[in-house]
A and B are shown apart, each in its own frame.
Chain A
């Protein structure tokens, strides 16, 4: 495999609150022979602003995203929803801004932006990434991974190839956990009602670890599980795939 040059878009949320996830992406991709770069000028895709109705506030972030990542051949994102924000919403924001130059720049960069499981399976062509994780786990397919960018069963194919893993099906897996960005605050009661059902399904599996491709959804479900002292921890897919027998997570 010739060295693939990859730009890591850590996402502002992971960068600030969950640094172990982008660190795991670096470990994993370097193990698979990639050269990983982290352009320091990166900040945020603007998703929270866009989805709460603050389109005008999101436009400068779109501009910054294409400036930072425009020159790379591949951009890897450890988040389904941030990938969705770039691929499905940046073009509309550029159109709204009435800036044809920005529109063209967005159009050029978006096909090169990949969610982690897409990059591994489609670009690198691997499902067995050499990981070792001897734990009982269950996987929650986050809504934007599933229905916005349509990663399909790629994360599950990657997890099934992990040595030692005991992967059990999550009941009603495809139902939303109730996070929904600012929905979690603006409609906290409904959000918690949905999250409680998701947490119950997680507990029914007997898994010790809940895995997903979005730390935002995991912070919501994990926050509920932790409040219940449920004895289930949450982990990003990248961290499980980065774990090896020599260097466990």
Chain B
């Protein structure tokens, strides 16, 4: 149970692998189509949706441009309310803090609420290394964990699995880590949910420590908010003695009133529901009610680097709804693993290189993992201009490589720009093309052609150049008139 994203290859390699997985293609096509339709229906019924998007974006931008003040405000409110606040610059610091806190309680296991931040920092692996078992309690996270698998979606990390596969995983794995799946388990969703419920119940009742993330952290009040569908989160947040919440510093909202906007934007965008079934909110510690030892770990882990880029920082508005994944035609065909991190899809292609830097081949390939079709921007509840950010990051990647030995692509681009910089140069190049066109005597297609155009012609016929260009025709026509 310790698979990690470390050492993932560039996007194209993972994508080719995923494209060949027919079961994955079918599961993803079905799941994304279903959730797109649900989202479309519930967003369509909100008359002031655009206004809500603008308000959401504004609230997040307010946070991002005053992050220092809001973080200090949040810390003050949390401390007043009896919580302990910890600060972590990176994943290692955050993991160290959580491991020490768990060790201090004497516990050798924790129950976990679904949390992107803890997957991002690979907390489970750190806990495991310290001899502490981390039990995922969200159904999809449980499927991923039991299957020794990697998550492939933000909201539905096991979206790549169908119910037949889930049944097999439950039957094979549950008994190894706790209560086995009931005998005669079928792949009907209610039976699978029941198996998960029975398996998890003993862990909920036994656990002394819970680890969560937070969807929102309200600076004005010190309140943390977790939004979920299954109730497992509520169990974790209320039953154990100790609650440790790992929160990315961009999760802040300025005021309580801002939360109202996001509780409308998030469920409709993510699960396609008017309202999510469970919304848990807690403000520090409440005497004789719920966890009495409450910790909040505020994590940077690259977020301040994103903030430093005035164009790129809008990616930090993201509320992890997954709408951009579900609508992305690239994601629909390759799934989440090709993106090589816990954040897949268009937002992952943007956040990955921003959070982790652009040194790796994977990070350099991610901004190109999009046709720039723009469907992601249209569904983003906080109006992140994803196509513009992808182009921005492509420019960064190209500029990073200037000065060194130019690649074949860079040389082609330079030659192209030189040719297109003046009409007389373009005309010379066109004469060469129409020369070929004449030799072909009107053939419409070249069919297959050699490298480097073979990347095109492997599956697509190549059009033949015409016998004359438009400007040649125009010159002849104007000449005839003169």
Q: Map CB proximity to A onto B353-383 as digits: 1 under 8 Å, 0 otherwise.
A: 0000000000000011111111101100000
Docked complex Cα distance between A60 and B421 (Å) = 7
Closest to B367 in A: A53
Q: Map CB proximity to A onto B372-400 as digits: 1 under 8 Å, 0 otherwise.
A: 11110110000000010001001111110
Docked complex Cα distance between A196 and B396 (Å) = 32
Query: Closest Cβ of chain B: how far from A147's Cβ, in Å?
Result: 3
Q: Are A176 and B375 in contact (CB under 8 A)?
A: yes
Query: CB of B237 within 8 A of chain A?
Result: no
* CB neighbours of B97 from chain A (8 A): none
Docked complex Cα distance between A223 and B463 (Å) = 7
Q: Are B373 and A226 in contact (CB under 8 A)?
A: no
Q: Map CB proximity to B onto A1-32 as digits: 1 under 8 Å, 0 otherwise.
A: 00000000010101111111011001000000
Q: Are A23 and B470 in contact (CB under 8 A)?
A: yes
* CB neighbours of B15 from chain A (8 A): 187, 189-190
Query: CB of A193 within 8 A of chain B?
Result: yes
Q: Are A38 and B375 in contact (CB under 8 A)?
A: no
B window 259-279: CB within 8 A of A: none
* CB neighbours of A16 from chain B (8 A): 426, 429-430, 433, 465, 469-470
* CB neighbours of B391 from chain A (8 A): 50-51, 53, 89
* CB neighbours of A38 from chain B (8 A): 470-471, 474
Closest to B13 in A: A189
* CB neighbours of B420 from chain A (8 A): 12, 43-44, 46, 61
Query: CB of A184 within 8 A of chain B?
Result: yes
**Chain B residues bordering chain A, tally (CB within 8 A):** 64
Docked complex Cα distance between A38 and B452 (Å) = 33
* CB neighbours of B413 from chain A (8 A): 49, 52, 54, 57
Query: CB of B120 within 8 A of chain A?
Result: no
Query: CB of B459 within 8 A of chain A?
Result: yes
* CB neighbours of B397 from chain A (8 A): 53
A window 160-192: CB within 8 A of B: 174-176, 178-192
Q: Are A179 and B470 in contact (CB under 8 A)?
A: no
Docked complex Cα distance between A163 and B413 (Å) = 44
Closest to A10 in B: B470
Q: Are A147 and B377 in contact (CB under 8 A)?
A: yes
Cβ contact of A187, chosen from B12, B409, B414, B466, cutoff 8 A: B12
Q: Are B466 and A17 in contact (CB under 8 A)?
A: yes
Q: Are B471 and A183 in contact (CB under 8 A)?
A: no
Query: CB of B339 within 8 A of chain A?
Result: no
Closest to A175 in B: B329
Docked complex Cα distance between A185 and B466 (Å) = 22
Docked complex Cα distance between A178 and B373 (Å) = 9
Query: CB of A121 within 8 A of chain B?
Result: no
* CB neighbours of A44 from chain B (8 A): 420, 426
Closest to B413 in A: A54
Closest to A68 in B: B423
Q: Are A180 and B371 in contact (CB under 8 A)?
A: yes
Q: Are B16 and A189 in contact (CB under 8 A)?
A: yes
* CB neighbours of A222 from chain B (8 A): 461, 463
Query: CB of A232 within 8 A of chain B?
Result: no
Q: Are A194 and B329 in contact (CB under 8 A)?
A: yes
Q: Are A49 and B423 in contact (CB under 8 A)?
A: no
Docked complex Cα distance between A188 and B371 (Å) = 11
* CB neighbours of A226 from chain B (8 A): 445, 460-461
Query: CB of A114 within 8 A of chain B?
Result: no
Docked complex Cα distance between A48 and B470 (Å) = 20
Q: Are B394 and A143 in contact (CB under 8 A)?
A: no
* CB neighbours of A193 from chain B (8 A): 19, 333
Query: CB of A224 within 8 A of chain B?
Result: yes
Interface bin, chain A: 35 or more
Docked complex Cα distance between A23 and B466 (Å) = 13
* CB neighbours of A227 from chain B (8 A): 459-461
Q: Are B455 and A53 in contact (CB under 8 A)?
A: no
* CB neighbours of A236 from chain B (8 A): none
Docked complex Cα distance between A50 and B469 (Å) = 25
Query: CB of A55 within 8 A of chain B?
Result: yes
Q: Are A188 and B458 in contact (CB under 8 A)?
A: yes
Query: CB of B417 within 8 A of chain A?
Result: yes
* CB neighbours of B417 from chain A (8 A): 49, 54, 57-58, 60-61
Cβ contact of B456, chosen from A15, A53, A223, cutoff 8 A: A223
Q: Are A190 and B334 in contact (CB under 8 A)?
A: yes
Closest to A215 in B: B463
Q: Are B430 and A180 in contact (CB under 8 A)?
A: no
Q: Map CB proximity to A onto B1-41 as digits: 1 under 8 Å, 0 otherwise.
A: 00000000001100110010000000000000000000000
**A43-B461 contact in complex given A17-B466, A18-B466, C-beta closer than 8 Å:** no
Docked complex Cα distance between A44 and B19 (Å) = 35
Query: Closest Cβ of chain B: how far from A31's Cβ, in Å?
Result: 15
Q: Are A187 and B398 in contact (CB under 8 A)?
A: no
Docked complex Cα distance between A220 and B457 (Å) = 10
Docked complex Cα distance between A178 and B459 (Å) = 13
Query: Closest Cβ of chain A: how far from B351's Cβ, in Å?
Result: 18
A window 46-103: CB within 8 A of B: 46, 48-58, 60-61, 64, 89
Q: Are A14 and B329 in contact (CB under 8 A)?
A: no
Cβ contact of B471, chosen from A40, A147, A223, cutoff 8 A: A40
Q: Are B368 and A186 in contact (CB under 8 A)?
A: yes
Docked complex Cα distance between A179 and B461 (Å) = 14
Closest to B426 in A: A43
Closest to B387 in A: A148
Query: CB of B330 within 8 A of chain A?
Result: yes
**A192-B460 contact in complex given A19-B466, A187-B368, C-beta closer than 8 Å:** yes
B window 425-460: CB within 8 A of A: 426, 429-430, 433, 445, 452, 455-460
Query: Closest Cβ of chain A: how far from B434's Cβ, in Å?
Result: 8
* CB neighbours of A195 from chain B (8 A): 459-460
**A15-B455 contact in complex given A175-B329, A226-B445, C-beta closer than 8 Å:** no
**A17-B330 contact in complex given A10-B471, A184-B456, A192-B459, C-beta closer than 8 Å:** no
Q: Sort A-B residue pairs by CB-CB distance and give the 5 closest, nearest first.
A: A180-B371, A223-B460, A53-B394, A147-B374, A53-B398
Give me the interface of A with B, judged by CB distance under 8 Å: 10, 12, 14-20, 22-23, 26, 38, 40-44, 46, 48-58, 60-61, 64, 89, 143-144, 146-148, 174-176, 178-196, 219-220, 222-224, 226-227
Q: A179-B371, A181-B372, A223-B460 are in contact. List 15 more A-B contacts (CB 8 A).
A: A12-B426, A15-B426, A16-B429, A17-B463, A19-B470, A43-B421, A53-B391, A57-B414, A147-B374, A178-B329, A185-B452, A187-B368, A193-B19, A194-B371, A227-B459
